[in-house]
Amino acid sequence: MKEYSNGFERPVNMNGHTVQADLDVSDGADPNYFVSQLAAEVFEADTKFVGQQFHFHAGSEHTIDEERYDLEMHTVHYPEETKNGFLAAALGIVFSADEEKVTAKLSWAEERIIDTFFDSLQFDDEGAENAGPTVDMITYGNLMMMVDFNNRWSYHGSVTTPPCATSVYWNVLQTIYPVKAEHLALFKGQLDKVDGLKAAGNWREIQETTEEHAVMVINQNKNKGLVAGPLSWLMNMLQKIQNMVTKNK
């Protein structure tokens, strides 16, 4: 389950390592959250995560089959309650300006949702070094409600910027979405406000996968659900379920 909303009068700023837009988290604000039972069943974390901000990395911070893509968008979420040390959840969407690498099968209207979203961020604003525009409306909710949450990779990871705090419930969508070359170039132009950042890219080096941080594959549709991952994770989950059944007898 997910519910996301467009943002109104939201600041879009260069914070020194990326362009970030803060979501409205005030009382009575329009909702931005997702619910994941997997978070509780596998990681013993909370199930509801509320969006706080989103930002971008060029190239992508996650690689697929060892390939780094042009752009990755992250939404940082906080749980309603901290459980088992999980302080945050992150949702990653990967984009490519190369249509041959795009895997999304989109209608014209869905492509317009992506284009309009990037237009609304006003990456072409020529403000001060770190000051960006306050945007009348960011069509964030339109994008987030359109993208496919049902097929994703999930794992126990960390924040990708210093101090790289651990215990983050990571979710990376499997679908590669299109981004126009001009939007990508405008974002990289924002990185150019920091010496050397455009050339180096603002992505973190790939980290080693351990059993604790193993990736799980989530695939589901309206008729059935499938959770597949390392056998050790599945066995642990089955053991937890068995323990719950035994306890309730």
**pLDDT tens-digit readout, 194-211:** 888 888 777 777 666 656
The answer to whether the beta carbons of residues 117 and 140 sit under 8 Å apart is: yes
**pLDDT tens-digit readout, 184-196:** 999 998 888 888 8
User: What is d(CA 98, CA 76) in angstroms, rounded to the nearest whole number?
Assistant: 26
Within the chain, strands assigned E span 2-3, 7-14, 19-22, 33-35, 48-57, 63-64, 67-68, 71-79, 88-96, 134-138, 151-158, 166-178, 216-220, 225-228
pTM as predicted: 0.83
**pLDDT tens-digit readout, 86-127:** 999 999 999 999 999 999 999 999 999 999 999 999 988 765
Q: Give the structural domain span for 41.
A: 2-248
The predicted model gives 24-38 an average pLDDT of 92
Handedness of CA 99, 104, 110, 114 (dihedral sign): negative
The enclosing domain of 9 has a CATH number of: 3.10.200.10
How much is the pLDDT for 126?
65
Tokens of 133: 């525009």
Total domain count, the chain: 1
